[in-house]
């Protein structure tokens, strides 16, 4: 039994007093950040029910939908990330956490298909094993906002095969394919062979697909290549490059596309073909990624947070870069 | 591809414009009620992330928590109902949907342990098979708000055994126990033998239990008996009777207790003992339940909804008793 005198008497709770009482009993929590998260969560959850006069059937349908999302999730499928993606939450959380100065590469959604078993390959390797895919040579550099190359960045790269499926979506997957890890060299360069990305539907055989259908939304993503950049001291960059002219360029089911991330695919000339051991006239993608330091991003994020919270009329302070109510 | 011109160009989405764009693309949905639910859901979800500046780690922790809730759920365990219960949402949804005129029996939370396989037993039956339980004779009546008996009501009754576990929580469960279905007779009566209810912890070996622990909340419910009343034309009543004096009477982990539902357990006198074939001096619970008609409840619910929504400044109309924006 709780002994603190701050705990309210939980009796005769009603539409009007359930929210402050739930918040008060959760306030026994010692962690101010979690306390704040729970306070906002309970407030929004209850306001949602009050503003919609949520019916018992709708409530039950929603809870069963959530069970179904959990049931279909596995080591290689995260239906709740997908749900977060199609509700715009993933894009929002990424934007909050990884603000970008104008000169740096913008982020995009992670999606549910990154894995941790991709092989680290040397520059020039072919990460694709799909014979139907159209070979694509990618020549990239990683720089800082002052234009200096960044060496030793770990880069995760992943894309679908030519049928629009990630390797993990094939039940007979033996080993990673169309994915690899590279490390930028002393000039910030990394280059590899993949295949031309194709548009594809996000997994729509589960509850999220059914929701999209009910909402009369399509489930397609425009063709893209995923990239994730990691190096101690640098802001973790999750992004993707989108092929210009895709029919879903302006209607991505998961809201990931940014103008600055739309790229043109060209053709390898004779010199490039020779240098990179690639057929002349083959498809070529050249791109420069610009990373920000962890410090730059944290400073920008903290400033943005305090500005946005003040604009919302909230009096907050940052503890470990996360807002909590400023009660002093 | 969507062809409607109302669909926005989904490009360069930011912290500030993701919400209206998500709402707009969801507005392709033809069902005005679902459209409204999604609009409120997306707004609250995004506002939550903006007001908390939700971190990527917190977001991932939350999504993994939801997967875990789905994974532990089964035919006999619904972790999302439990989550809804401890967040006060279940109480709120019940209060919205089943408003009670002053003279009628108040509702309480359903909880996750109602089953559909309880046997229908004749009056006087013993629904308990736990030899450790203290026998309890329950003599009840069902009336309408004018005091007239209601015949032919189907009543689901369920409680834990003396160890504080429902039958479905025992992995070796062979058949239903401490639960039954009864039907009220021509005088609105039903009576049965159960056992004295005990306080018990809600299932706390899963993610919801862990959350309660993290929040420094206990997981106990005060001793109670569940009742559910169903009859065509009458409002579905889900309620429970709580034994007065329980140590958790004012701190129910799922917010279910109402003063009007707290009852005293007495002792069977000689006449009662003889009439009901029960030991003299044995524990006796007598209670009168008062049902409202479906019509009464719907009228009250509709009135409450329109009043509450107007107070929130929302211009709504009811379609099939559910609010949608009034755009006329």
CA distance A99 to chain B (A): 10
Are residues B312 and A50, on separate chains, in Cβ contact within 8 Å?
A: yes
pLDDT surpassing 70 at residue A210? yes
Write the CB contacts of B201 (distance below 8 Å, at least 6 apart in sequence). B164, B218, B219, B220, B221, B253
**Is B270 in a helix, a strand, or coil?**
helix
Reading the block at residue A89, the tokens are 């939450």
Query: What are A11-25's pLDDT values in tens digits?
Result: 889 999 999 999 999
Question: What's the token pair of residue A79?
Answer: 């239906």
- Angle between helix A18-26 and helix A32-52 axes, rounded to 10 deg: 160
Spell out which residues of chain A touch residue B30, defining contact as CB-CB under 8 Å.
Answer: 216
How many interface pairs between A and B have CB atoms less than 8 angstroms apart?
267
Contact A251 B1 (CB under 8 A): yes
**Cβ–Cβ under 8 Å, residues A107 and A98:** yes
| CB-closest option in A91, A216, A305 to B53 | A305
Tokens at B152, concatenated:
């032919």
Nearest to A134 by CA among A6, A19, A279: A279
List CB contacts (< 8 A) between B71 and chain A. Answer: 70-71, 73
Tokens at residue A197, please?
């990305």
Cα–Cα dist B93/A35, whole Å: 23
- Here the tokens at position B67 are 């997967």
For chain B, domain boundaries: 1-54, 79-292, 296-328
Dihedral sign of CA atoms B66, B72, B73, B78 in order: negative
Comparing CB atoms, the residue among B11, B19, B29 nearest residue A258 is B11
Smallest Cα distance from B209 to chain A, Å: 13
Which pLDDT belongs to residue A3?
44
Considering only CB atoms, which chain A residues are within 8 Å of B252?
10
Record: contact A87-B42, CB cut-off 8 A: yes
Nearest alpha-carbon partner for A278 in A288, A287, A268:
A268
- B29 to A97: CB separation less than 8 angstroms, yes or no: no
Q: A93 vs B54: CB contact, 8 Å cut-off? A: yes
In angstroms, rounded to a whole number, what is the distance separating the alpha carbons of residues B189 and B182? 10
Report the pLDDT value the prediction gives residue B76, as an integer from 0 to 100.
80
- φ/ψ of A242, rounded to 5, equals -105, 135
| pLDDT tens digits, A114-157 | 989 999 999 999 999 999 999 999 999 999 999 999 999 999 99
Element of type H or E holding B154: strand B154-158
Q: Nearest chain B Cα to A16, which residue?
A: B92
Q: Which of A53, A67, A251 sits opposite B322 (nearest CB)?
A: A53
Nearest CA in chain B to A261: B12
pLDDT at B6: 60
Placement of tokens 């909402």 in the chain: A215
Q: Please state whether beta strands A316-319 and A154-158 pair in parallel, antiparallel, or not at all (unpaired).
A: unpaired
Looking at residues A179-207, what average pLDDT do you find?
96
Grade residue A282 by pLDDT with cuts at 50, 70 and 90.
Answer: very high
Distance CA A233, CA A294 (A): 5
8 Å CB contact of A26 and B217: yes
Interface touch B47/A44, C-beta < 8 Å = yes
| DSSP alpha helix (H) spans, A31-78 | 32-52, 56-72
- Answer yes or no: do A46 and B88 touch at CB < 8 A: yes
- Which of B7, B59, B258 is facing A12, going by the closest CB pair? B258
Taking an 8 Å cut-off on Cβ atoms, the answer to whether A59 and B29 are in contact is no
Query: Which of A28, A63, A79 lies closest to B81 in CB terms?
Result: A63
0.85 surpassed by complex ipTM? yes
Q: Which residue of A has its CA nearest to B236?
A: A56
CA nearest B192: which of B136, B129, B149? Answer: B136
Specify the 3-state DSSP secondary structure of A44. helix
Write out pLDDT tens, residues A48-95. 999 999 999 999 999 999 999 999 999 888 999 999 999 999 999 999
Closest partner residue to A218 (CB to CB) among B1, B67, B95 is B1
Q: Which residue, chain included where needed, has tokens 């035919």?
A: B75
Across the interface, whether the CB atoms of A78 and B67 are under 8 A apart is answered: yes
DSSP notation for B106-146: PP----S---S-PPB--TT-B----TTSPEEEEEEEEEETT
For A319, other C-beta atoms within 10 Å of its C-beta total 11
Terminal Cα-to-Cα distance of chain A (whole angstroms)? 30
Helix axes B32-52, A32-52, angle to 10 degrees: 160
Q: Which of A59, A84, A249 faces B93 most closely, judged by CB atoms?
A: A59
Best of B58, B67, B71, B106 to disrupt the A interface (most A CBs within 10 Å) is: B67
- pLDDT tens sequence across A231-272: 999 999 999 999 999 999 999 999 999 999 999 999 999 999
Identity of the residue in A63, A215, A305 whose CB atom sits nearest the CB atom of B84: A63
Residue B260: DSSP 8-state: G
Q: Which residue of A lies nearest to B85 if distances are taken between CA atoms? A: A22
- Residues on chain A touching B52 (C-beta within 8 angstroms): 36-37, 40, 323
Joined together, the tokens standing for residue A107 give 């982020």
Query: Per the CB < 8 Å rule, is B53 touching A308?
Result: yes
| Residues B193 and B135 sit within 8 Å (Cβ to Cβ) | yes
Partners of residue B50 in chain A, C-beta under 8 Å: 92, 96, 308, 312
Enumerate the β-bridge partners of residue B228: B156, B238
Query: Closest Cα of chain A to B301: distance in Å?
Result: 9
B212 Cα to chain A: minimum distance (Å): 9
* Each residue's pLDDT expressed in tens, for chain B with a length of 328 residues: 444 446 678 888 999 999 999 999 999 999 999 999 999 999 999 999 999 999 999 999 999 999 999 999 998 889 999 999 999 999 999 999 999 998 899 999 988 889 899 999 999 999 999 999 999 999 999 999 999 999 999 999 999 999 999 998 888 888 999 999 999 999 999 999 999 999 999 999 999 999 999 999 999 999 999 999 999 999 999 999 999 999 999 999 999 999 999 999 999 999 999 999 999 999 999 999 999 999 999 999 999 999 999 999 999 999 999 999 998 7
Mean pLDDT score, A279-301: 96
Architecture field, domain B79-292: Sandwich (2.60)
CA distance B189 to chain A (A): 27
CB of A198 closer than 8 Å to CB of A255? no
Exposed e or buried b per residue across B275-302, where buried means at least 16 C-beta atoms within 10 angstroms of its C-beta: ebebeeebbbbbeebbbbeeebbeebbb
Distance from CA of A252 to the nearest CA of B (A): 7
**How far is Cα B213 from Cα B68, in angstroms, rounded to an integer?**
16
């Amino acid at each position: 039994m709780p002994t603190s005198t701050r705990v309210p008497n939980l009796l005769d709770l009603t539409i009007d007093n359930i929210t402050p009482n739930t918040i008060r009993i959760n306030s026994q929590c010692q962690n101010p950040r979690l306390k704040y998260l729970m306070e906002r969560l309970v407030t929004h959850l209850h306001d949602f029910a009050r503003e919609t006069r949520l019916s018992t059937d709708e409530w039950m349908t929603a809870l069963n939908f959530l069970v179904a999302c959990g049931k279909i999730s596995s080591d290689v499928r995260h239906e709740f990330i997908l749900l977060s993606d199609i509700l715009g939450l993933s894009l929002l959380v990424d934007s909050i956490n990884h603000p970008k100065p104008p000169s740096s590469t913008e982020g995009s959604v992670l999606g549910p298909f990154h894995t941790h078993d991709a092989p680290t390959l040397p520059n020039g390797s072919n990460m694709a094993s799909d014979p139907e895919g159209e070979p694509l040579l990618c020549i990239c550099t990683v720089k800082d906002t002052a234009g200096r190359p960044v060496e030793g960045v770990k880069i995760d790269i992943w894309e679908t095969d030519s049928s629009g499926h990630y390797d993990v979506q094939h039940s007979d997957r033996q080993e990673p394919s169309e994915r690899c890890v590279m490390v930028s060299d002393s000039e910030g360069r990394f280059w590899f062979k993949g295949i031309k990305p194709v548009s594809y539907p996000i997994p729509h055989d589960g509850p999220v697909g059914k929701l999209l259908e009910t909402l009369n939304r399509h489930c397609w993503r425009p063709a893209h290549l995923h990239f994730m950049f990691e190096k101690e001291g640098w802001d973790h960059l999750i992004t993707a490059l989108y092929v210009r002219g895709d029919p879903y360029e302006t209607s991505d089911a998961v809201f990931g596309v940014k103008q600055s991330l739309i790229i043109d695919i060209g053709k390898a000339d004779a010199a490039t073909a020779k240098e990179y051991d690639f057929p002349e006239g083959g498809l070529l993608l050249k791109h420069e990624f610009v990373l920000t330091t962890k410090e730059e991003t944290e400073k920008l994020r903290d400033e943005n947070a305090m500005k946005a919270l003040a604009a919302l009329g909230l009096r907050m302070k940052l503890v470990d870069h996360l807002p909590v109510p400023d009660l002093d």
